[in-house]
């Protein structure tokens, strides 16, 4: 571990300490595999929280990237470019929405959705100026901007970063009574993750999202679903809200949209909402640049042509079944949808991070979330054989 250590020490000296990574220094990746600077190989069971759903260096997306990079990478939004229409059409068709607005990071997509909801509230619904409210969920994760942390319920995300943005109401996740009680005439939107990823792959009760949809419809409230981590096949459906046949007004996408290469995010929505943007009301220098459009289009085409959504569903069930068959003294709960699995560890029996370190020694990259949950989210291109390989090692670590 000498070489790894050298890089880590140098980084620690000059980098802000806003992360606490596991002590391994990755230098290259291919498909589901990663190699560190000492040549050790690991199976990536984290996929950068869905950003690597297509695997590392997917050849088809890499080809689109290099071809486009050598033609035209970036041009300002002061002009049109010839990759934009293709990408927008594919994106809107896949999630059955009318219009899309392209940004870069997931947090920017969420900020965009918040702006859309507020404008909808004032211009369409007729909410009095500066009174619009958005209902959000306890345990949410929507990003790290000052606006977004304003409605986080996690103190460590907020401490000493105030003052915070008003206009948000936090209610318990999965509680339809609380949601109905929170809606007022000034509510413009409900913003939720269909499954809470960072909170530990937490699922609301079956039928909850459908009831949220009905409550939104009944009160002229927008349903805005953050599918930045859950979307594009992660949960075994194109969108996680497809599990409940829910049709949101606004969907935020990111992570996997970049095909494992670039930060690409989008807000995709119905005409009635997306129509609130006019020239000058929003924008981003790099949002929707030609390189991003070419890569994003290739990422979506690959998802469909390689049937990655179906694969996530099938292999996710296969892995969850195997995990549920484990008789582990540490595990208190296992849940998941598609290749997206949370394993709760009894804190009295083991520390999740210690188990992740043992898995690292076995050749698996796994990270804990909120100290007590191990999250498994391998690239969707993983094979059954690779899952068996991973399971054998997980079983070894969780049952000794």
Ligand X SMILES: *Cc1c(COP(=O)(O)O)cnc(C)c1O
> What do you get for the CA distance between the two ends of the chain, in Å?
24
Bridge-based pairing state of the strands 99-103 and 265-269: antiparallel
| Cβ contacts of 390 within 8 Å, gap of 6 or more | 43, 45, 364, 378
Q: Tell me, by CB under 6 A, how many residues bind ligand X.
A: 15
Which two three-digit tokens encode residue 283?
């924008």
Among 42, 49, 261, 340, binds ligand X (CB under 6 A): 49
Does the N-terminal peptide bond of residue 163 adopt cis geometry, omega within 30 degrees of 0?
Answer: yes
Residue 110 touching ligand X (CB under 6 A) = yes
Min CB(300)–ligand X separation in Å: 18
Chain position whose Cβ is nearest to ligand X? 106
- What are the distances in angstroms from CA 260 to CA 54, 57, 116, 298, 341? 6, 7, 28, 11, 20
Site for ligand X in 294-353 (CB under 6 A): none
Among 90, 112, 187, 229, binds ligand X (CB under 6 A): 229
Min CB(304)–ligand X separation in Å: 22
For ligand X, which is the closer residue by CB, 105 or 311? Answer: 105
Min CB(53)–ligand X separation in Å: 12
Residue 329 φ/ψ region, left for φ over 0, alpha for ψ in the -120 to 50 degree band, beta for the rest: alpha
Site for ligand X in 157-176 (CB under 6 A): none
Site for ligand X in 354-383 (CB under 6 A): none
* Helix (DSSP H) and strand (DSSP E) numbers for the chain: 13, 15
Site for ligand X in 255-294 (CB under 6 A): none
Among 213, 226, 313, 344, binds ligand X (CB under 6 A): 226
CA–CA gap between residue 298 and residue 317 (Å, rounded): 27
For ligand X, which is the closer residue by CB, 230 or 311? Answer: 230
Helix (H, G, I), strand (E, B) or coil at 171: strand
Stretch that binds ligand X, among 40-48, 69-77, 99-107, 364-372 (CB under 6 A): 99-107
Active-site amino acid positions: 141, 226, 255
Residue 228 touching ligand X (CB under 6 A) = yes
DSSP 75-89: --TTS--TTHHHHHH
Among 143, 147, 200, 233, binds ligand X (CB under 6 A): 143
Binding site for ligand X (CB under 6 A): 49, 105-107, 110, 141-143, 193, 197-198, 226, 228-229, 254
């Amino acid at each position: 571990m000498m070489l790894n250590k050298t890089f880590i020490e140098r980084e620690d000296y000059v980098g802000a300490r806003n992360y606490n990574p596991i002590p391994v220094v990755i230098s290259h990746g291919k498909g589901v595999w990663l190699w560190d600077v000492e040549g050790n190989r690991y199976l990536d069971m984290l996929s950068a929280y869905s950003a690597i759903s297509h695997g590392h260096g997917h050849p088809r997306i890499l080809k689109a990237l290099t071809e486009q990079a050598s033609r035209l990478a970036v041009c300002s939004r002061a002009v049109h470019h010839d990759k934009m229409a293709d990408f927008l059409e594919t994106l809107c068709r896949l999630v059955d929405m009318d219009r899309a607005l392209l940004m870069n990071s997931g947090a920017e997509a969420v900020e965009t959705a918040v702006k859309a909801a507020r404008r909808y509230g004032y211009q369409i619904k007729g909410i009095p100026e500066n009174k619009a409210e958005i209902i959000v969920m306890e345990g949410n994760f929507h990003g790290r901007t000052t606006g977004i942390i304003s409605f986080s319920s996690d103190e460590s995300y907020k401490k000493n970063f105030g003052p915070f943005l008003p206009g948000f109401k936090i209610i318990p996740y999965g509680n339809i009574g609380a949601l109905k009680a929170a809606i007022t005439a000034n509510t413009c939107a409900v913003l939720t993750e269909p499954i809470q990823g960072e909170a530990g792959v937490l699922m609301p009760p079956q039928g909850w999202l459908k009831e949220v949809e009905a409550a939104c419809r009944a009160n002229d409230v927008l349903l805005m679903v953050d599918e930045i981590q859950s979307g594009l096949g992660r949960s075994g459906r194109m969108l996680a809200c497809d599990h409940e046949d829910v049709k949101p007004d606004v969907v935020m996408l990111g992570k996997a949209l970049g095909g494992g290469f670039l930060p690409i995010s989008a807000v995709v929505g119905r005409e009635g909402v997306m129509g609130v943007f006019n020239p000058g009301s929003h924008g981003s220098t790099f949002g929707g640049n030609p390189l991003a459009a070419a890569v994003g289009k290739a990422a979506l085409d690959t998802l469909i042509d390689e049937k990655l959504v179906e694969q996530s569903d099938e292999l996710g069930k296969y892995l969850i079944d195997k995990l549920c068959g484990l008789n582990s003294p540490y595990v208190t709960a296992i849940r998941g949808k598609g290749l997206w699995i949370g394993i709760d560890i009894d804190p009295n029996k083991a520390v999740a991070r210690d188990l992740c370190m043992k898995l690292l020694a076995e050749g698996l990259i796994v990270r804990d979330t909120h100290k007590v949950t191990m999250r498994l989210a391998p690239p969707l291109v993983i094979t059954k054989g690779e899952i068996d390989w991973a399971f054998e090692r997980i079983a070894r670590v969780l049952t000794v």
